[in-house]
Amino acid sequence: MECQNYGLSRSIERENLNLNPLQRGGILPAAAREALYDFGDGYSVCDYCAGRLDEIAKPSINGFLEDLAKFINVDAVRTVHGAREGKFAVVHALCKPGDTMVVDGNAHYTTHLAAERNGVNMVEVPNTGAPEYEITPEKYKETLENAIDEKGEIKLALLTHVDGDYGNLTDAAKIGKICQDAGVPVVLNCAYSMGRLPIDAKAMNMDFVVGSGHKSMAASGPIGVLGMTAEWEELLLQRSSRHAKKEIEMLGCTSRGAPIATLMASLPYVMERVSKWDEEVQQARNFVEKMEEIDGVVQVGVKPTQHDLVRFETPAFHEIAQKHPRRGFFLYEELKKRKIVGIKRGQTEWFKCSVYGMTPDQKDYVAGAFHEIAETALD
Ligand SMILES: *Cc1c(COP(=O)(O)O)cnc(C)c1O
């Protein structure tokens, strides 16, 4: 048979400014693009493997994992295939079907699926509702204590460090302490934070942290990071009885080839950019301020924003859509004309966006484009 044409060409990122928050932190620096080329073949990191992926010395996966553990301040770290696989491994190792875990009400769908796939029930900590949708330590404590009273035992707690709906940054250190005081192991989901802002798992009182290479660590992925304190190494990294070198929960070897090579190549770049997080937040705030100068554009979530992912309610654009010949598509199309992409087609009531990693001029250009569209779309 002959294969169809799969349309495997992509210039979106080269030719446009992309506002999709999902994609801003996964753009590769030059060193990672080179690594992608060199390590594109299947098991390319396995040339000098003696049975343990995490101990390979050429390329220095062992050295890289040492650096990574220091970077996020954990005792042991493994790469996995994504933040979701990291969460799944923790839930799987700590819980049995029918057990209960506590999760925050802004948790990502992959948290819910990790619990479901393990047959684990969830008790949710509600957020504060509109307009902040905040997860507070007080509510977390109350929910956790009630859950312990009701169920007798809570096996695990999960906190989303920065959620993907509002870009709210939770008080991880405080909530971590609450969980530790209650004797409940806790995992911090850093998919939107590790690689963007500094993570210190121990200072945050966390037993586990997970990160996402393709979301926030400038890696091609799919790859995730699972860090833990020494206390959990034996359980999480238990070895097979048949294959003495292989860790069961990791199914032996995890990320190999281009995903891990790009993550390794990007680590110095990621360490450097994390140190400039405060600046990035300041620029996100400036961007929000410029956007809110448009009558009928309001940021929701905690204000001022503490993250580059921002969510706007945009009645201004929704109103235009009612009268515009292109209806709801006008916004996407007007942005596209200005070489801006990443807002979903047809969506005008609200949207999420991020200008993370763009130059100040590019950020101004994006805000300016929204102004122009708000003023002229119906002309
Ligand atoms: C994107 C995202 C994930 C999923 O990350 P993967 O690495 O693709 O599994 C999990 N949690 C949050 C909060 C996210 O934003």
Q: Is 108 in the pocket of ligand 1 (CB under 6 A)?
A: yes
pLDDT given at position 208:
99
CA 121 to chain centre: 23
Report, as an integer, the average pLDDT of 147-152: 96
**For ligand 1, mutation pick of 81, 103, 108 (most atoms within 8 Å of CB):** 108
Residue 259 scores a pLDDT above 90 = yes
Residue 88 scores a pLDDT above 90 = yes
Residue 379 scores a pLDDT above 90 = no
Give 102-133 pLDDT, tens digit per residue.
999 999 999 999 999 999 999 999 999 999 99
Report, as an integer, the average pLDDT of 15-20: 96
Going by alpha carbons, the residue nearest to atom 14 of ligand 1 is: 191
Question: Cα(117) to centroid of ligand 1, in Å?
Answer: 16
Question: Cα(331) to centroid of ligand 1, in Å?
Answer: 27
Distance CA 236, CA 232 (A): 6
Residue 365 scores a pLDDT above 90 = yes
Q: Is 189 in the pocket of ligand 1 (CB under 6 A)?
A: yes
**CB neighbour burial string for 44-53, b if at least 16 within 10 angstroms, e if fewer:** bbeeebeeeb
Going by alpha carbons, the residue nearest to atom 15 of ligand 1 is: 164
- SS3 label, residue 18: strand
Question: Cα(221) to centroid of ligand 1, in Å?
Answer: 12
Q: Is 82 in the pocket of ligand 1 (CB under 6 A)?
A: yes
So where are the chain's domains?
12-24+292-378, 30-273
CATH of segment(s) 12-24+292-378: 3.90.1150.10
Helix (H) or strand (E) holding 187: strand 186-189
**What is the CA angle 56-60-65, rounded to 5?**
85
Q: Is 83 in the pocket of ligand 1 (CB under 6 A)?
A: yes
- Cα–Cα distances (Å) from 186 to 103, 156, 237, in that order, read 10, 6, 17
Specify the CATH class of 30-273 in words: alpha beta
Nearest partner of 370 among 316, 310, 312, 291, judged by Cα: 291
Query: What is the CB-side half-sphere exposure of residue 344 using CA atoms within 13 A?
Result: 9
Q: Is 215 in the pocket of ligand 1 (CB under 6 A)?
A: yes
pLDDT given at position 377:
86
Confidence tier at 160 by pLDDT (50, 70, 90) = very high
Task: Report residue 61 as tokens.
Answer: 């996966």
pLDDT given at position 322:
96
3-state helix, strand, coil in the chain (%, to 5): 45, 15, 45
Helix (H) or strand (E) holding 78: strand 76-80
- SS3 label, residue 300: strand
Residue type, 6: Y
Q: Is 160 in the pocket of ligand 1 (CB under 6 A)?
A: yes
How high does pLDDT run on average in the chain? 97
Q: Is 110 in the pocket of ligand 1 (CB under 6 A)?
A: yes
